[in-house]
């Protein structure tokens, strides 16, 4: 089965096709934070956040974010909280093991907070926008 339609949410309007050969729309348009609107990521920005035994911001909210990764470059567990609030050993979204990394879900543009079980090392963060 093939489904086609005219997508007039982009300029100029384009024909979209979904079929076994093209299982999802193959053209971009209006793509998230990309000024070109083509769905491509233009920038990868790296940062490092020193570990802390108290709540710190790992990555600020950014409406232009496509995705991000957080590498726990520490010998201690990183308690990571997606969204506003105060992270703790009991209030967190997930634990990132020492030497492991986490990929932020596509489309999540909110703040990332965190703290470590002990303050050794850092978080290596790459944000895609």
Range of the domain at 16: 1-30
- Closest C-alpha among 71, 76, 70 to residue 119: 76
* 57 and 119 in a common domain: yes
Residue 41 confidence (pLDDT): 74
List, for residues 95-108, the tens digit of each pLDDT value.
Answer: 999 999 999 998 89
Tell me the CATH number at 52: 2.60.120.770
Q: Does 14 share its domain with 51?
A: no
Residue 35 within a domain = no
**What beta strand segments (E) does 34-121 contain?**
44-50, 56-59, 67-73, 78-82, 94-96, 101-104, 112-116
Calpha distance 45→67 (Å, rounded) = 11
**The model scores a pTM over 0.75:** no
Identify the pLDDT of residue 123. 97
Across all residues in the chain, what is the average pLDDT? Answer: 81
Q: Which residue has the higher pLDDT, 32 or 113?
A: 113
Is residue 37 in some structural domain?
Answer: no
What's the rounded Cα separation, in Å, for the pair 89 and 100?
Answer: 18
Record the tokens describing residue 26, joined without a space: 């193959």
State how many domains the chain has.
Answer: 2
91 located within any domain: yes
- Name the more confident of 20 and 46: 46
């Amino acid at each position: 089965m093939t489904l086609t339609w005219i997508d007039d949410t982009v300029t100029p309007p384009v024909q979209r096709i979904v079929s076994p050969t093209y299982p999802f729309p193959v053209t971009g348009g209006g793509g998230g934070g990309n000024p070109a609107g083509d769905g491509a990521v233009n920038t990868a920005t790296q940062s490092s956040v020193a570990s802390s035994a108290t709540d710190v911001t790992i990555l600020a909210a950014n409406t232009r974010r496509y995705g991000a990764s957080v590498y726990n470059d520490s010998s201690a567990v990183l308690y990571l909280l997606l969204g506003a609030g105060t992270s703790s050993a009991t209030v967190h979204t997930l634990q990132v093991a020492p030497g492991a990394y986490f990929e932020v879900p596509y489309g999540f543009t909110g703040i990332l907070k965190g703290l470590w079980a002990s303050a050794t090392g850092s978080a290596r963060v790459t944000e895609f926008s």
